[in-house]
Structure 1
Amino acid sequence: MKTKDKKNLMWLAAGAAALVAGRAIIRNLSAYNFRNKVVLITGGARGLGLVMARQLAKEGARLVLCSRNETQLENARLELAGKGADVLVLKCDVTKEEQVQEMIHHVQNYFGPIDVLINNAGVIHAGPVTEMTVQDFEEAINTHYWGPIYTTLAVLPTMRARGGGRILNVSSIGGKISVPHLVPYSASKFALVGLSEGLRAELDQYNIIVTTATPGLMVSGSPRHAIIKGQHKKEYSLFKIMDSSPLSAMSVEKTAALILDALRHGDAEVTTTLPAKFGELVHRLSPELMTDVFALVNRILPGEGGIGKNRAKGYESESSLSMSGLTERTEKAAAKNNEL
């Protein structure tokens, strides 16, 4: 290679590096500052919601956590307040519009207008679709779709009046790729992704930035609260093992950090874990191939039978396999993240 060509390549490389560095500097300078911001996290008493609350507390956010479980809320409050966080906890079922309205009114009287809304409340139904009922689908859609609608519409007036705000909708990779034996969950998470993308396009004019999170599996300890159907002990063992494996699941702390970083920078969406990103890419290139692969996977999953359409929680479905060394990470996370 000629000396002149080498110099040109060096200049190009230096220019590219400067461009990347410049974009990083601008991105950091324009990052949203959570200090003293009022942040409402639905489903914030345990799991991913609680971990995000811990990280936001370190940044000086004023936290509001809501959940249906008063004991878990009080545990979360004691932990966060004990570390100096400014935190308010409220019992609220986000599938009930009246309760959401009352909660938002209470928050505004206590802290003032909400700056950041994080829609994180969730429910999981695991098992063959033939064992699912209309109730299961309604429960999923009410939690993952109507809940975020109620909270978003409740905070919009004050966000518009103040000239801005941030909304984070925590969907799932299951909201991009429909996963066998999680059909109510995936279908409702698809709905949330569509809602979130539409909100981002329309609310940008008011300086209200909407971010969609589609995380892959994370080690949060949450499987014990899943609703399991069919051959529930086999279903739960597989679910818990996948949730615990370092090959398929990321730590909930890293997941929370990635999601909050996307919210901080106003990114349109964020997907975590390599398996989730790979699956999303394959699905985008060929949805038919993805569904054909999942059809093969479905053949080796537990079939119908067992408790059938009856419901059992994850902690009611434990077995020697689900309590083995293969699930140690999930057991530790459950204890750490208020899931017990």
Structure 2
Amino acid sequence: MASTVLITGASQGIGKATSHLFASHGYNVVLAARQADRLETTAQELRATGHSATAIPTDVRQPDQVNLMVQKALDQYGSIDVLVNNAGIYISGPAEEFSLEDWHQAIDTNLWGYIHAIHALLPHFLARQAGTIVNVGSIGGIVPIPYLTPYSTSKFAVTGLTRSLHSELAPKGIHVCGIYPNIIKTNFLERAIFRGKNADDLRSRQNQVSQLVDTPVIEKADDVAKAVWNAVKHKRDEVVVGSANLSAVSNQLLPNLVQWVLRKTFQHKDS
């Protein structure tokens, strides 16, 4: 019987690329995201190539929706073998410019969304004494990044969640791994939150990230999808993706210099 993977944030970007890769390896794919039309388009693409795919529109910030999504997936496929937590939102600006609503947007999506999915699926994994949880994190969860404080806060929490769960669940037959990419060439800017000291500051932050995403050397969604697959296949604890390795090593060796560079890079009009 084919294995089944459940992927959140699956309608585009990393989630979509991961769904195609797992389907190519014979997995049934359960896709979850808020945008029902894009989600169904991805499912149709998979079904058109002969793969089993089910789209379940879900807002991972809502535990009731996540519980229902997991139950629907279990009803259809009988079991789930891999959970890929991927839904997320990018948020940038000076710390004092973020509203509490901005903070909740970041943490409710990037952290609580992961917790909701794990909480819903963990009893199933424990009953089977088998399963894999993949949390797609960020280099911003290993290296502190100024002017991305809500984002980095949520990603550091994901790193702690991942490492703690790995330690606890490994003896119970459940593999937990973290994926840590740098900024990725996807359309995440559609949902990103930017705040600034003024309109010029806000625009400069948006333009900076937009230009960075267009840089040819930036990794693509497929690169992260391959990292997820390798982590599952080879039971890796952590995978730092591509250029994020340089950021991680530099921060270990020269943390003060790296933080100075990051502050200058993201400071903009905040002086």
For normalisation by structure 2, the TM-score amounts to 0.93
- Alignment of 1:135 with 2:104, yes or no, is no
Q: Deviations over 1:133-190 (max 9, x none)?
A: 1111111111121111111121111112212111100000111112233211111000
After TM superposition, the runs of 4+ consecutive aligned structure 1 residues lying more than 6 A away are none
Alpha-carbon distance in 2 for matches of 1:74, 1:162: 30
Q: Is the 8 A contact 1:125 1:228 kept in 2?
A: yes
Q: Is the 8 A contact 2:89 2:188 kept in 1?
A: no
Q: Deviations over 1:183-208 (max 9, x none)?
A: 11111000000000000000001110
Alpha-carbon distance in 2 for matches of 1:254, 1:125: 22
State the secondary structure of the residue aligned to 2:89: coil
What percent of counterpart residues are identical? 32
Alpha-carbon distance in 2 for matches of 1:138, 1:287: 29
Q: Deviations over 1:32-69 (max 9, x none)?
A: xxx81110001011111000001111111000011111
Question: Could you tell me which residue of structure 1 aligns to residue 210 of structure 2?
Answer: 240
- Alignment of 1:279 with 2:231, yes or no, is no
- Alignment of 1:295 with 2:269, yes or no, is no
Q: Is the 8 A contact 1:220 1:252 kept in 2?
A: yes
Superposed displacement of residue 232, structure 1: 3.1
**AA aligned opposite 2:145:** V
Over the residues paired in the alignment, what is the CA RMSD in angstroms?
Answer: 1.7
Superposed displacement of residue 302, structure 1: 4.3
Superposed displacement of residue 91, structure 1: 1.1
- Alignment of 1:257 with 2:226, yes or no, is yes
**AA aligned opposite 1:257:** K
For normalisation by structure 1, the TM-score amounts to 0.75
State the secondary structure of the residue aligned to 1:218: coil
State the secondary structure of the residue aligned to 2:50: coil
Question: Could you tell me which residue of structure 2 aligns to residue 82 of structure 1?
Answer: 48
| Number of corresponding residues | 267
Alpha-carbon distance in 1 for matches of 2:152, 2:241: 17
- Alignment of 1:149 with 2:115, yes or no, is yes
Question: Could you tell me which residue of structure 1 aligns to residue 194 of structure 2?
Answer: 228
Superposed displacement of residue 288, structure 1: 3.3
Structure with bigger gyration radius: 1
Partner of residue 176 from structure 1, selected from 130, 134, 142: 142
Structure 2 unaligned spans of 5+: none
Q: Deviations over 1:66-106 (max 9, x none)?
A: 11111111211221111111011111111111111111111
Q: Is the 8 A contact 2:31 2:54 kept in 1?
A: yes
Question: Could you tell me which residue of structure 2 aligns to residue 189 of structure 1?
Answer: 155
For 1:33-182, what aligned pairs fall within 5 Å after superposition? 36-182=2-148
Alpha-carbon distance in 1 for matches of 2:129, 2:71: 19
